[in-house]
């Protein structure tokens, strides 16, 4: 991938150009790419991103549509860099927020080298889900399917899902085919390393988009707001609406103690 194209894609994610790692750009053996993690709400997209990166980048709650914005998780190891895009859950939008979240999914997938479609092993594959997968394949996406929650159903519980997906694992004139279906467990980390190996193999040659020590594109202020929102969703079940927002008003560091004042809207 040429440097000009890399910088253009870098700009798509609103990143400061000055932060591109100049030393890594000179490494002709480096591989890098964007991987969108998509799927219905509560299939474990954020949990998988955290497991792949090895750090808590995205908040996780049992409630649907916890993720509202594209959040990048960055994994840099050896000669490769994978930029994972955690997207909101795909659903039938009923509000402007829902429409915005669905648009974020489509935009992320369009600008990615690989689409990783996640399924819940404990739930049947619906016609709408198959249509969504086929829609990505019609756009000639390089698509993998990760079937999460293997710890709940075992490999026998995955067989019905494989049967449903088998027609899409064969190429057709109007679309590409699913590259691989990998049963995983974000909870036990089973097969997560194997999934990572498949994704590494798909990375094109190219520069690193971010410094090697970064794990996300989001500033500390955003991460703190998200953690507060996560705790509110976890511990205030019926007292607050799901669609809350958090805005930090003041944030100071006093001898290692962070003092934060925030509004929950």
pTM value is 0.75
Tell me what the mean pLDDT of segment 57-74 comes to.
75
SS percent in the chain: helix, strand, coil, step 5: 35, 25, 40
Closest to 202 (Cα-Cα) out of 86, 104, 27, 84: 84
Encode 103-142: b = buried (16+ Cβ within 10 Å), e = exposed.
ebbbebbeebbbbbbbbbbeeebeeebeebbbebbeeebb
Among 3.90.1150.10, 3.40.50.2300, 3.30.70.890, 3.40.50.300, what is the CATH number of 3-202? 3.40.50.300
The per-residue pLDDT for range 142-180, each reduced to its tens digit, is 999 999 999 999 999 999 999 999 999 998 888 899 999
Tell me what the mean pLDDT of segment 238-255 comes to.
84
Tell me what the mean pLDDT of segment 51-64 comes to.
81
Confidence of residue 103 (pLDDT cuts 50, 70, 90): low
- pLDDT in the model for residue 11: 37
The residue extents of the domains of the chain are 3-202, 220-264
- pLDDT in the model for residue 254: 86
């Amino acid at each position: 991938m040429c440097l000009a194209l890399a910088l253009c894609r870098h700009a798509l994610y609103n990143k400061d150009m000055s932060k591109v790692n100049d030393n890594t750009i000179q490494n002709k053996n480096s591989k890098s790419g964007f991987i969108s993690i998509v799927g219905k709400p509560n299939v474990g997209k954020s949990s998988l991103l955290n497991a792949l990166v090895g750090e808590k980048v995205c908040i996780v709650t049992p409630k649907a549509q916890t993720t509202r914005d594209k959040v990048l998780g960055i994994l840099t190891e050896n000669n490769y860099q994978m930029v994972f895009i955690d997207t909101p859950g795909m659903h039938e939008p009923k509000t402007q927020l829902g429409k915005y979240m669905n648009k974020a999914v489509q935009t992320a997938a369009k600008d990615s080298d690989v689409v990783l479609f996640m399924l819940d092993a404990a739930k049947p594959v619906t016609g709408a889900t198959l249509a969504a997968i086929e829609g990505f394949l019609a756009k000639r996406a390089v698509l993998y399917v990760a079937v999460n929650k293997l710890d709940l159903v075992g490999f026998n519980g995955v067989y019905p899902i494989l049967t449903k997906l088998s027609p899409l694992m064969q190429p057709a004139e109007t679309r590409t085919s699913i590259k691989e279906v990998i049963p995983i467990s974000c909870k036990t980390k089973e097969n997560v390393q194997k999934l990572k190996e498949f994704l590494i193999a798909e990375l094109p040659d190219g520069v690193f988009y971010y410094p090697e020590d970064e794990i996300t594109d989001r500033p500390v202020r955003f991460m703190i707001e998200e953690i507060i929102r996560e705790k509110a969703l976890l511990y205030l079940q019926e007292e607050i609406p799901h669609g809350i927002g958090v805005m930090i008003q003041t944030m100071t560091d006093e001898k290692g103690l962070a003092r934060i004042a925030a509004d929950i809207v």
